[in-house]
Amino acid sequence: MQVTLNLFDFNQKVDYKNEILSGLTVALALIPEAVAFALIAGLSPLTGLYAAFTIGLVTSVLGGRPGMISGATGAVAVVIVTLAKSHGVEYVFATVVLAGLLQIVAGLLRLGKFIRLVPQPVMFGFVNGLAIVIFLSQLAQFKVANATGALHWMTGLPLLIMLGLVALTMLIIWGLPKLTKAVPASLVAILTVSLLVIGLGINTRTVGDIASIKGGFPPFHVPNLPLTFQTLSVIFPYAVIVAGVGLIESLLTLNLVDELTNTRGRSNKECMAQGLANLTTGFFSGMGGCAMIGQSLINISSGARARLSGIVASVMLLVFIMVGAPIIEQLPMAALTGVMIMVAIGTFEWASLKTIGRMPWHDVLVMVVVAAITVLFHNLALAVLTGVIFSALVYAWENAQRIRARKYVDEAGVKHYDVYGPLFFGSVMAFREKFDVTGDPADVIVDFAQSRVADMSGIEALHKLMANYQQAGKTVHLRHLSPDCRRLLANAASLVEVNIVEDPAYTVLADEYE
């Protein structure tokens, strides 16, 4: 059944059945992830579950990308773990609140648009690295603790049971869509494997073996810590990192979902929603978080395209916490592990492997480096920033090599330099080498019809060029400067002396460019 729902979906038609079933599937998949991330951060499981509920609900209603799922994430967990151990959970809550405020400011300043600066190789590396991280994180389910508490790999019958149940889950997810798409394959897989385990009494690890998820409604709680500059000096660095990591991961996930659905989300609105979500969860005993690429892909692959699925996932998660814990804790981890492994397989950009040997070497290198940093350090912000900086440096270097000048002397004895390529910090040295101040005639024309002055270094290069010619008793005429270049030179007039001269007395000015 499809109904137009203006409040949630910008006049899009909502398939209620798909949205509700997809939300239920996501809610089940959120539980082990939220619990695991809370434990990574050294916090109680309910801290992660409360964050998944509050962040998921706020971003589903107010976010800029319908169908995207947010909650407690590993990216935030690895940032706050040190703070949690050194100062305690109250400082974590305060950090999350401050990070939310910073994200709201980023949205107000419309900084979300800068996600457009992320090149495609960085996106490929980010997605591939995250897929590998999702897969590797599932391997922990194949380990058990011995009498001393040390983890070791399963062996014998427990390993065979675990592998069999995971394989069955993956088979259902792969095969069911070939028969029918009436219901989400992930949900059918979880329910089928769970009924099989419970009905036959199969001895395997369940959600309850990890931690209890039983609790109440997230309690409102103002962080209990002194409001001093010393407190701010402790939490501010962590808040900046949490805000940055959260926005980068959220906006990259938004872009990925945009590509999968052939729609366009609103990045600045998502920044605002993420900020408000973290601000809220910090006051409701949550650990903070951001967009979750794995759960978002489960939601999208299940057919959800609207906000309702995220709302259902959040509400059902709260229901599980408050009244459904005894049932949910019986779900086998093998089923949820199988779902996440299929998410990892679906997330990996297999087409990116075909670019190796076909695309420029530096693009392939960026893709590999970003993926490697993501896998080794679990730091998505560092991985993406490294990729963007490397791509920018490569771009600057290549453009620096492209500047050139066509030289000739006209009938009037005037030397022409027709400049091609951008004049900026990277090309200044090559630009200077094009000119022969000593050997040139008294009048020189530098034509910028096929070039532009891009920055302060370019202005300074022009200043030095004209000063050298003036010192030699010669005159330089700058021609065909674009309006933005003229403004740039005019704004810098108080800093460097650049004399723009276009002499109409020269008949040679009536050339091919005019």
Provide mean pLDDT across the span 226-234: 93
Residue 208 pLDDT more than 50? yes
The three-point CA angle 266-75-90 to 5° equals 105
pLDDT tens-digit map of 379-437? 777 888 899 899 989 888 888 888 999 999 999 899 999 999 999 999 999 999 999 99
Higher pLDDT, 496 or 284: 284
| Percentage with pLDDT > 90 across the chain | 47
Provide mean pLDDT across the span 286-291: 94
Residue 319, pLDDT score: 95
Residue 495, pLDDT score: 53
**In the chain, domain spans:** 2-8+15-345+353-364, 403-509
Task: Provide the whole-model pTM.
Answer: 0.76
Higher pLDDT, 81 or 156: 156
The architecture in CATH of the region 403-509 reads 2-Layer Sandwich (3.30)
Residue 500 pLDDT more than 80? no
Residue 12, pLDDT score: 59
Contact 346, 300 (CB under 8 A): no
Residue 501, pLDDT score: 56
Residue 492, pLDDT score: 65
- Say how far apart CA 140 and CA 169 lie, in whole Å: 17
pLDDT tens-digit map of 327-355? 899 989 999 889 888 888 887 888 888 88
Residue 511, pLDDT score: 41
Residue 37, pLDDT score: 83
pLDDT tens-digit map of 157-185? 999 999 999 999 999 999 998 988 778 88
- Say how far apart CA 174 and CA 195 lie, in whole Å: 19
Residue 274 pLDDT more than 90? yes
What is the CA 160 to chain-centroid distance, rounded? 37
Strand 415-420 with 443-450, pairing: parallel
Q: What mean pLDDT value characterizes the chain?
A: 87
Q: Which of 262, 265, 294, 365 is nearest to 73 (CA)?
A: 294
Q: Which of 369, 83, 361 is nearest to 236 (CA)?
A: 83
